[in-house]
Amino acid sequence: MARTKKPRMTAVFKHSVPVEVRRPRFKLSTAIAEIDPARLSRKARVEIEVGRFGGDGCGQVVTAVVKKGTVAQLRVEPCKEVQAMRNDPALRSLVIAARRQIGVGATPGKWRPIPYAAFQSSAADIIIQTITCIQICIYGHCIVCCTLPQGGFFCGRRIIIHTP
């Protein structure tokens, strides 16, 4: 039987330069537990803030799109001051290498619709398995990249400079 690596919160590796990777923590919204799934099943379309990934004063917000009681889609929204960076092959290979180093694999699992009642009981676990945000630091300059549930990823153009 093949052993699977347990995901790590941090890793340091050499890509073409030394790279440090961190996984921001996910903070689940307290409102998730308060929503009645039966009432939600009567609504045609509702967007609910599920929580946010923390990270250097700005967190990526995760929103669930619920249609007639089923979580049809998860969306990751970057902070207002973050602009998406152009996806080039070098950045893509760096993100894939960083994901492998922290033990979450090169690509996330695909999203499949789920009834809200089932989602409500294990939302944090589902989010962490479906969406991975990582902070990639090279020589103290960091960017945050998140995978998207529908495939692909985005990296924020907001560069964070860490000073000792």
69: left (phi over 0), alpha (psi -120 to 50) or beta: left
For residue 59, what is the enclosing H or E element?
none
Is residue 120 situated within a structural domain? Answer: yes
Q: What is the number of structural domains in the chain? A: 1
Residue 111 in domain: yes
Confirm whether 103 is domain-assigned: yes
The full length of the chain comes to: 164
Task: Judge whether 4 lies within some domain.
Answer: no
Q: Is residue 3 part of a domain?
A: no
Measure the CA–CA gap between 112 and 73, rounded to whole angstroms. Answer: 8
In tens digits, what is the pLDDT along the chain, a chain of 164 residues?
445 556 667 766 666 778 888 888 888 988 888 888 888 888 899 999 999 887 655 677 889 999 999 999 888 877 776 666 666 788 888 888 888 888 776 666 677 899 999 998 888 888 877 888 888 888 878 888 888 777 777 777 655 544 44
> In angstroms, rounded to a whole number, what is the distance separating the alpha carbons of residues 11 and 101?
6
pTM, entire model: 0.73
Look at residue 1 and tell me if it is in a domain: no
Residue 82 is assigned to a structural domain of this protein: yes
Domain hosting residue 32, numbered range = 10-161
Residue 2 falls within a domain, yes or no?
no
Question: Do the strands 60-67 and 46-53 form a parallel or antiparallel pair, or are they unpaired?
Answer: antiparallel
